[in-house]
Structure 1
Amino acid sequence: MEKKKVLLLYILYLVSTIILLFGLGYIKNWDNKNIIVGLMFFFCYVLSSKFKYTLLILLISFSILSFYFPTGIIYGKPTEAILGSLLQTNKLEAIGYLMVIKYKILVMILFICIQILIYLTAKNSKYKFNYFYFLIFLFLYVTSLFGISINHHRLNEDAFLKNLITSSKIIHRQKIEQRMSLGDSSNIKIESIIDNNDDTQVRVVIIGEAVRKDYMSVYGYPHTTTPFLNSAKGIFIDGLVSAGPNTQLSLTRTLFRADPSENIIHWGINIVSLANKAGYKTYWISNQGANGWGDDVFFNLSKLATQNKFLKTGDFESGNNDDEEMLPIFKNIINSNANNKVIFIHMMGSHEPVCSRVGNYKPSFKIYNEAGCYVATIEKLDLFIKKITEILKDKKYKLMYFSDHGLSVEKTTIFHDNDLYEEYQVPLFYLDSESKEQIHIKKKLSGLNLLDIYSTFINIKTNVTDHKYSFQLASELADNIDPIIYWEKYKHLSTIQKRQPPVIDIETNITKEILELKNNYTFTDQCISYVDYVKIAFPANPQIYKIVGWAASTKEKEPVNGIVGSFIVNKSKVIFIKGDAESRSGVREHFNMPKDTNSNYGIVSFLDKKYINDNKENIYVGYRDKSNHYYICSKPYN
């Protein structure tokens, strides 16, 4: 029996070691030296089994480390970019992140269960305390997590906690640098005005959110998503590559001067300070948060403007304000006396959750899925820009628009995917009240050069920007064939290989099989169920409803087997709506089931409004078995 226990422990040690290397990001950036790290983890387990307290140390510390697993599996070992994105991104981007990692959480749960099993299996082993073994354990434990320096030679240079601490220090230093130098524009020198005859009264910079250019018909999307922009007079550049895959990483290297060679950001050189230095009145209008996890730097930037106005007084999700609410504020600024002004507008745009961005807007098509919501937000953006130009119609104006990054867009989910090529493909265009034609320029440009384009947009040459970058001269620029981006570190766009074409069939109904049943159904108490809610699935399409519930077998308390779905039971007929199983860990915990068991208790169905009535009691969930018989689960919880 003792031999079997030892064999089981060694198998668990090996499995845990592999999961540690996988979850902490060593596999993602594999180096043969990491074999030594794996051996250190393994022998930490072996030696820990000799002492109860060392077993407890590993149980607690390794279980805590496992919370990094979902991130490590996707992105690798911690760097300031990864840690900064986790700590500084806004809360809605965090929701998008959770959508990406949801299945990786199972690895974390499995690992913690294994650690508990190791502790329970080994804790009763009887060994005499041995200082030599304990010191070896301590050396391996510290070296595996923190690394160690001997005669100025480091062992395990990329130790997980060492990287974590180093990255945290870098982020802390950046915050101090930002706070100290954001308002210091002493390094900016205005060398000259580019065009002395430029009598533009208003310049508008619109910072878009989460917009991919391949969903805009002005850039070739087959559905007419940008009817106004399709014929607008100006310059449309096809080829801008965002500096980073999320708001924080992109805009800190777009709105500020970034130096990739030194990996530093010159906070004092930014879009507001440049305009202030040139003598413009500056205004910042935002539909994003005035404070919060990742909004601080942009809120602080806005305070450099002559005036700033945030629709939300709290953080990013402290309200669900529509971008159109910025229009009256914009109009008031336009009607004020000063003409020589630069107005910055920071939109919510197409930020996830995308369907909530549609609001009361009525798109030109019916929305049946998440991709449809995304396309609707592009239509809504086009209308927003049209309304901006209508407010400006009596002024001589110049307007530039760009987006911070794109998103991964699928029919059922929309989220951030930092390894997706299209995440970096964003629109850049320029409208001018004096323009007579629409010009398209296919030119690859780095988002790191957007500050240069902006400086010529506000008609100045400076010592900190390159005046050869301008909308008017864009066709003469050499193609930046492989632009630099920032994710984890500065690297070239060519390192991003994953591709995703835009969703074209946006009007494909997400509803599945709907059948009227005859006699091939049974009300059964062999399974129990609960209907959580029945509501409109997409705000812009009140015809599509969503039914969410769960079901479990009565005896085993496990998810039901078969084709799951919802049932609408009326006196005269029973209708089955085919659905999808969904993970519901809360239901599993309710039944006290082990964490490593199947948690697909959830059942989600979509259907047309005509099938819905106000009586929730008539709606059930259940399943269809292999013989095409339908089972309607009882509802003791309703």
Structure 2
Amino acid sequence: MLRKNILLYFLYIVSSIILLFGLGYTKNWENKDIIVGFIFLGCYIFGTKYRFTSIILLVTFSVLSFYFPTGIIYGKPTEAILISLIQTNKLEVIGYLMAIKYEIFLSVLFIIIQFLIYQITKKEKNKFKYFTIFAFIFLYIVSLFGISVNHHGINRNAFLKNSIDSWKVIRKQKEEQRINLGDSSAIKIDGKIDNNDDTEIRVVIIGESVRRDYMSVYGYPNNTTPFLNSAKGIFIDGLVSAGPNTQLSLTRTLFKAIPTENKIHWGINVVSLANKAGYETYWISNQGANGWGDDVFYNLSKLATQNKFLKAGDFNSGNNDDEEMLPILEKIINSNAKEKVIFMHMIGSHEPVCSRIGNFTPNFKLHNEAGCYAATIEKLDLFIEKITKILKGKKYKLMYFSDHGLSVEKTEVFHNNNIVEEYEVPLFYLDSDIKEQIHIKKKISGLNLLDIFSSFINIKSNVTDSNYNFHQASKITDNSDPIIYWDEYRPFSTIQKKQPPIKDIQSNIIGDTVKLENNYKFSKECVSYVDSVDVAFPLNKEVYKIYGWAAADKDKKPLDEAIGVFIMKNNQIYFIQGDKQARNGVRDHFNISPGERDDYGIVSFVDKKYVDSIKNTYLGYKDQYNQYHICIRNNQF
């Protein structure tokens, strides 16, 4: 009985700590949050006395655990986080899930613990006591909703309270969009900037997930932009995107945002400005036409004279290439002689990046994810070149910018709102009359792109600043610390982690392969798990990616030695050296403190000829004496 009680209280404490960690309390820790930990603990102590309250705890807290991956990375639920989860387009949801797949293990571990607690306590028959029931109800409500008396609160950041409040804000925003998106009455056109401007066609290309530092026209050492390298135009080196994902960025780029009021004027937007100025407007998109994240841009497109979405529904309704927008563009250009503004919304470099390459063949062989990302930039360059060929013979202006960047690693490309390069994006302008390439190195906020757009379409208005002009870019005030939006408006300087671009994109990342003789053994000193054995890159079927994790069996710590993959094939064993990766989900699985190392992950890139099946694939290490240790499998993880 004593052992049982000790085990139960241990599980109560572990569960309470995991709840604090998983629901985001530790991300922005306040000392008073320790009270929340005791509230969770109290829920377990009182709630497991009776079977029906145990079931309530099991169901409720297990459901809460689905938020853990987000809470670990971003913190307690806020409007911005919920918008990113439910209002971003579905492609970004997939990218997000790819980035958090290892944090999901904490949710799995937590649910297992909840079932264990329930199994231990369900057979107990405690005498019914009103005090116990009332104590549980009180603590349960406070744990989820918090409590406030005379402006003094306990657990003010309770999960459901924050979620409900944030949801109300989102719903209000959606209603404001619906009511105000088509109301352009606040816009007054004050005339033209240049009365001699006789441009026929103006094209605005909205890029997707492109980092400026991967474009050779901005200095990247690999030739990813052969056309743009010599294109005549104005290139701004310093645009800082308004947000780290499509929804947060473009709602503050294509619409008028007022940071001081935390407000977006939906009726003041790029399409309405062009309409008011008398242009025919067109919207061509290779992104989804419906869904929470897509609908605001779809509704914006309906303000245009014509709109065309390659995908009839959401992104699942087709796997279209950006180049499929080009025949539509050509048809619009040749439809009549009226002055036009044409918006083109690309799928661009959106993750999974290797899937964005399609039939395009880059000028280098793909051996890693960073190479795939660079290939999408080269594909973008060709896309823009083809547009200029379509526009040849016309008086045109072309403006390109990207909504945000991505975190780019050799083995993974994903969203990471905490790196500087996620926000550093390209902005450039091509003109049929420009005779040279001009580079302007100035920081400009994405919040000012609406101003730049108004100058691009040659108008002055009461809602934009005509000083933001490509042709006067050298006179634009250098914004040393632009404002960005992530959970709130904040200075860009609050993002400090940097990630230099990967330059050796052509390097072969296949690990050294060693044919073993008698210098190996199956070891019980370490445990491992192989997650997957798959083709690494769509355009290079000769390279396979083997992924998993390994840990020392005794203390459950990551391996310190040279790690890698063992493949058994044709009665022979091969060792392919690999690289370590963070796997904090594995660390949490073993109940190791969050402050400890989490580099359990092992990834090896293998020549196809060595690949057999996952059942003949193992993980392990080579020790300092050149002895190879094949770790036993952990099939329960």
TM-score normalised to structure 1 length? 0.87
Equivalences for residues 260-409 of structure 1 within 5 A:
260-409=259-408
1:412-453 residue CA offsets vs partner (Å, 9 max, x unmatched): 000000111110000001111111211111111111110010
Question: Is the Cα contact below 8 Å between 1:565 and 1:579 reproduced in 2?
Answer: no
Q: How many residues align?
A: 608
- How does 1:226-237 map onto structure 2 within 5 Å? 226-237=225-236
Q: Distance in 2 between the 1:7 and 1:342 partners?
A: 71
Superposition deviation, residue 530 in structure 1: 11
- Which stretch shifts more, 469-478 or 244-253? 469-478
From the superposition, tell whether residues 145 and 517 of structure 1 become closer, same or farther in structure 2 (CA, over 3 Å): closer
Matched, 1:545 2:543: yes
Q: Secondary structure at the match of 1:309?
A: strand
What is residue 492 of structure 2 aligned with on the other side? 493
Question: C-alpha separation between the residues in 2 aligned to 1:301 and 1:48?
Answer: 50
Given that residues 216 and 225 in structure 2 are in contact (C-alpha distance below 8 angstroms), is that contact kept between their aligned partners in structure 1?
yes
Secondary structure class of the residue paired with 1:289:
coil
- Any idea what the Cα deviations from partners look like across 1:64-85, whole Å, max 9, x if unmatched? 1111111111101101110011
Cα displacement string for residues 574-601 of structure 1 (whole angstroms, at most 9, x for unaligned residues) = 86655689999xxx9xxxxxx8799x99
**Distance in 1, Cα, partners of 2:54 & 2:394:** 73
d(CA) in 2 for partners of 1:68, 1:531: 23
Q: What is the CA distance between 1:100 and its match in structure 2?
A: 2.1
Q: 1:158-169 maps to which residues of 2 (within 5 A)?
A: 158-169=157-168
Q: 1:187 to 1:362 in 2, by over 3 A?
A: same
Corresponding letter in the other structure for 1:191: D
Counterpart residue type for residue 621 of structure 1: T
The reply on whether 1:621 has 2:622 as its aligned counterpart is: no
How far residue 162 of structure 1 moved from its aligned partner, in angstroms, is 0.5
CA distance 1:68–1:265, shift in 2 (3 Å) = same
Q: Is the 8 A contact 1:565 1:605 kept in 2?
A: no
Contact 1:143-1:155 within 8 A present in 2 as well: yes
Shift of 1:52: 2.9
Aligned to 1:564: 565
Q: Which deviates more from structure 2 when the two are superposed, residues 191-200 or residues 4-13?
A: 4-13
Flag the 1:597–1:632 CA change in 2: closer, same or farther, 3 A.
closer
Deviation of 1:473 after TM superposition, in Å, equals 2.1
Task: Structure 2: state its 5+ residue gaps.
Answer: 551-558, 593-598, 633-637
Unmatched 5+ residue regions in structure 1?
553-560, 589-594, 634-638
Change (3 A) 1:325 1:346: same
Once the two structures are superposed, what CA deviation does each residue of 1:73-102 show, in whole Å capped at 9, x if it has no partner? 110110111001100122221122112212
Q: For residues 630 and 351 of structure 1, what CA distance do their matches in structure 2 show?
A: 39
Structure 1, residues 120-150: CA drift from partner, whole Å, max 9, x if none? 3333444322212322221222122112343
* Cα distance, 1:78–1:334 mapped onto 2, change above 3 Å: same
* CA distance 1:40–1:218, change in 2 (3 Å): same
1:137 to 2:127 alignment: no
Segment drifting more, 148-157 vs 335-344: 148-157
Following TM superposition, by how much is the alpha carbon of 1:357 offset from its aligned partner in structure 2, in angstroms? 1.1
Q: Which moved more, 1:113-122 or 1:495-504?
A: 113-122
Kindly tell me: are residues 118 and 621 of structure 1, through their superposed partners in 2, closer, same or farther at Cα, counting changes over 3 Å? closer
Alignment of 1:12-91 (within 5 A): 12-91=11-90
Closer, same or farther: CA 446–604 of 1 in aligned 2, 3 Å: closer
Deviation per residue, 1:486-531 (Å, 9 max, x gap): 11111111111211000011111121123456687999xxx9x999
Alignment CA distance shift 1:12-1:624 (3 Å): closer
The 2-side partners of 1:518 and 1:453 are apart by 67
Q: Which residue of 1 aligns with 2:555?
A: none
For residues 274 and 618 of structure 1, do their structure 2 counterparts lie closer, same or farther at Cα, with a shift above 3 Å needed?
closer
Q: Check conservation: 1:567, 1:632, Cα contact below 8 A.
A: no
Between the aligned partners of 1:27 and 1:530, the Cα distance in structure 2 is 31
1:51, distance to aligned residue in structure 2 (A):
2.9
Do 1:401 and 1:430's aligned partners in 2 also have CA atoms closer than 8 Å?
yes
- Structure 1: which amino acid aligns with 2:566? G
SS at match of 1:317: helix
The aligned amino acid for 2:544 is K
Q: CA deviation at 1:41?
A: 1.6
User: What is the alpha-carbon distance in structure 1 between the residues aligned to residue 471 and residue 175 of structure 2?
Assistant: 38
CA-atom RMSD in angstroms: 3.4
Post-superposition CA distance 1:238-260 (Å, at most 9, x none)? 11110110111111110111111
Q: Following the alignment from structure 2 to structure 1, what is the Cα–Cα distance between the partners of residues 111 and 590?
A: 10
User: TM-score normalized by structure 2?
Assistant: 0.87
**CA deviations over 1:376-433 (Å, ceiling 9, x no partner):** 1111111111111111110111111000000000000000001111100000011111
Q: 1:408 to 1:604 in 2, by over 3 A?
A: closer
* Partners of 1:234 and 1:437 within 8 A in 2: yes
- Alpha-carbon distance in 2 for matches of 1:241, 1:499: 14
Task: Give a deviation string over 1:350-397, Cα, whole Å, max 9, x none.
Answer: 111101111121211111000001011111111111111111110111
Q: SS of the residue aligned with 2:348?
A: coil
What's the secondary structure of 1:180's corresponding residue? helix
Judging changes above 3 Å, is the alpha-carbon distance between structure 1 residues 566 and 482 closer, same or farther for their aligned structure 2 residues?
same
Partner SS state of residue 224, structure 2? coil
Shift of 1:114: 2.1
Partner amino acid for 1:346? H
Match of 1:113 in 2: 112
| CA distance in structure 2 between the aligned counterparts of 1:163 and 1:343, rounded to whole angstroms | 40
1:568–1:576 CA contact under 8 A, matched in 2: no
Give 1:421's aligned amino acid.
V
Structure 1 residues 134 and 305: CA distance shift in structure 2, 3 A: same
CA distance in 2, matches of 1:534, 1:20: 35
Question: Matched residues in 2 for 1:507 and 1:82: separation?
Answer: 36
Distance in structure 1 (CA, Å) of the matches to 2:75 and 2:601: 31
Name the CA distance, whole Å, in 2 between partners of 1:484 and 1:301.
24
Task: Tell me if structure 2 keeps the 8 A contact 1:241–1:445.
Answer: yes
Contact 2:565 2:604 in 1 (8 A): no
Whether the 8 Å contact between 2:520 and 2:627 is mirrored in structure 1 is no
Match of 1:558 in 2: none
The 2-side partners of 1:489 and 1:619 are apart by: 48
1:508 counterpart SS class:
coil
Q: Distance in 2 between matches of 1:492 and 1:617?
A: 50
Q: Distance in 2 between matches of 1:336 and 1:349?
A: 27
- 2: CA distance, partners of 1:336 / 1:143: 63
Q: What is the aligned partner in structure 1 of residue 455 from structure 2?
A: 456
Aligned equivalents of 1:218 and 1:225: distance in 2? 8
Please say if residues 569 and 618 of structure 1, whose CA atoms lie closer than 8 Å, have aligned partners that are also in contact.
no
Partner SS, residue 261 of structure 1: helix
* SS of residue matched to 1:440: strand
Q: Contact conserved, 1:530 with 1:620, CA < 8 A, in 2?
A: no
Structure 2 counterpart of 1:202:
201
Contact map agreement 2:62 2:111 (CA 8 A) in 1:
yes
Identity %: 67
- Quick one: which amino acid aligns to residue 545 of structure 1? V
